[in-house]
Amino acid sequence: MSSYPTVRLHIGGEWRDPGTKESAPVINPATEETIGTVPLATTADLDDALEAARQGFETWRATPVATRTEILHRAAGLITERAPEIGRVMTLEQGKPLKEAAGEAKRTADTLRWHIEDARRAYGRTIPSAPGTILSVRREPIGPVAAFVPWNFPVGGPNRKISTALAAGCSMIIKASEETPATAAALVACYVDAGLPPGVLNLVFGEPAAVSAQLIASPVVRLVAFTGSVPVGKLLAATAGEVMKPTLMELGGHAPVIVCADADPVQAARRAARAKFFNAGQVCTSPSRFLVHSSLYEDFAAAFVKATEEIVVGDGLDPATTMGPLANERRLAAAERLTADAVRRGATVRTGGLRPDRAGYFFAPTVLTDVPRDVLIMSEEPFAPLAPIVPFDDLDDALELANSLPFGLAAYGFTQSAATAEKLSAELEAGILSINHCGGSVHEAPSGGVKDSGYGREGGPEALDSYLVTKRVAHQLS
């Protein structure tokens, strides 16, 4: 169960032997042991990937839609078939429970199926015009895409970009995370084994700043797609702007949860806790600031603590585990720092708050009450299993607090009033809003942020917009 595959770059239809290439260690976050290595692309590797993507685009855009569809449906079938093994590898290098990991792989196959069929309906239109003139609008693939993805969803994250780009007719170079490389390679292998032409999908790893600088600067790349932190997103957007490249940015958030006076506090707490500790809180849409009406505060907090204490923390390969370790030492340090800051300034740890005395990057699921509004965790995205709970008396005050940060990715509200739900929907500044639940992204609807949380959408028909060029053609008949 502990075997870890050899990781390779995939460029121009070939898996490149790591050889003596510079590499980085891959760590199992549940044990802190090195389980493998990831090869780092050289400048020459990236040049080869760019040329492969250029040629791959020419091939793929000229491939009949029916043929593209057939290949991509085969890839979706392979992802579904291989989901248990993809999940096992994901758990080894990222830490999430095996059930979550295999479920992520299965869901991403459905995401691919959605984009395959949606791309077949990326229609243009004919516009009524003058006699002897045909005025039309066409939608065409934008070209080779450079995509950059993080480690928190090692198969779902890359595939949101791969599936949309390839369905639209684009080629892609994807720079996946060096912390979860084998999962990304297993995903790419599904496309390769399905019969994808060489060069259409290329996988590289490397020093992020160097890889992004080389790929974005190349005239081959026509779109930059990124998921990650706000500071890195701003840097990549600025770099792309210097060479007039469009970008798709899905950046971080700090999602507020507003529990209104008429909500069921126990139901709201259980649903919110389930979402909070999914993937150990390492989700950009994770509920992370809990604003609860004072009349429900104690009932909500008690129910949230009870749900938290039912979580079983352990190695993701153990079937009993419901929350694994944090993915790396950086997230563990952040969890400790944010908890210590809140306690030092008056917050109460109702449960958790400590690193267990064991190997691995584990941190106990933590609930904080009596949290001052000016502590770091109320303004800094935790990306960890930390839940600060703050009371409010007036809904307008809660909305002001929820909207006070520069982030605007996800938000959540609990109420039994249709009028209050409409007020939350109208006034919360977020690109994704859930009422009476904390559900995640779905492939049939758009996801994306406002303000510093980015722009562009992934999922739903809107996902294709970034990967297609709209061309107006005015054809005057002779």
Which CATH number fits the domain that encloses residue 403?
3.40.309.10
Show the tokens assigned to 251. Answer: 């950046």
Q: Are residues 276 and 187 in the same domain?
A: no
Same domain, 349 and 266: yes
Look at the chain and report how many structural domains it folds into.
2
Q: Where are the alpha helices (DSSP H) in 322-405?
A: 329-344, 395-402
pLDDT in tens, 63-77: 999 999 999 999 999
**Active site residue: 170, 190, 260, 284, which one?**
284
Residue 305 — pLDDT band, cuts 50, 70, 90? very high
Pair 160, 287 in one domain: no
Please check whether residue 87 lies inside any domain of the structure: yes
Q: Is the domain of 259 the same as that of 246?
A: no
Q: Which of 104, 178, 179, 250 is catalytic?
A: 250
Residue 55: inside a domain:
yes
Other C-beta atoms lying within 10 Å of the C-beta of residue 133: 12
Active site residue 250: yes
Same structural domain, 114 and 207: yes
Residue 1 belongs to a domain: no
Residues 51 and 175 occupy one common structural domain: yes
422 is catalytic: no
Alpha carbons 77 and 267: distance in angstroms, whole number:
37
> Does some domain include residue 447?
no
CATH number of the CATH domain containing 121: 3.40.605.10
Backbone φ and ψ of 367, nearest 5°: -120, 125
Residue 394 belongs to domain spanning: 255-442
pLDDT score of 2:
59
pLDDT digits (tens, 9 = 90+) for 230-284: 999 999 999 999 999 999 999 999 999 999 999 999 999 999 999 999 999 999 9
Q: Same domain for 175 and 127? A: yes
162 and 267 fall within a common domain? no
* Amino acid 440: pLDDT: 83
Q: Judge whether 3 lies within some domain.
A: no
Task: Give 385-415 pLDDT, tens digit per residue.
Answer: 999 999 999 999 999 999 999 999 999 999 9
Domain check: are 240 and 261 in the same one? no
Q: Is residue 432 part of a domain?
A: yes
pTM of the predicted structure, to 2 decimals: 0.95
Q: Are residues 339 and 462 in the same domain?
A: no
Burial (CB < 10 A; 0-12, 13-18, 19+), residue 394, is exposed
Q: Can you point out the beta strands (E) in 62-108?
A: none
Tell me, yes or no, whether 4 lies in a domain: no
